[in-house]
Chain A
Amino acid sequence: MKKPTRKYLLLAVIALGTWVWFRSGDSDEKRIRKCFDRLAECVTKPSGEQSVMMAAKMHNLGNVFADTCYFECERAMMTGDYTPEEVSSHAVRARSLFGDVKLAFYDLNVLLSGEGRATATVTARLTGTMKSGESFQETHELDCVLAKCEDDWRINKVVVVQVLDK
Chain B
Amino acid sequence: MTALLWKDFRLNLPIAVASAVVWAIIHAFLILTMLFFREGGDPPAYIWGEALTTTNTISLAFSQLLVGALGANAIACERADRSAEFLFALPPTRVWILMSKLILALALALGVWGAHLFMLEVIVPVFGILPATGNPRLAGFYPMMLASSICLFGGSWLGSSLLKSAAYALLIGVALTGAAGGAISSIQVRLKLADTPALEHTYQVTFLVLGIAAFAAGTIHFLRRVEP
Chains A and B belong together in one complex: no
Residues of B within 8 A of A (CB): none
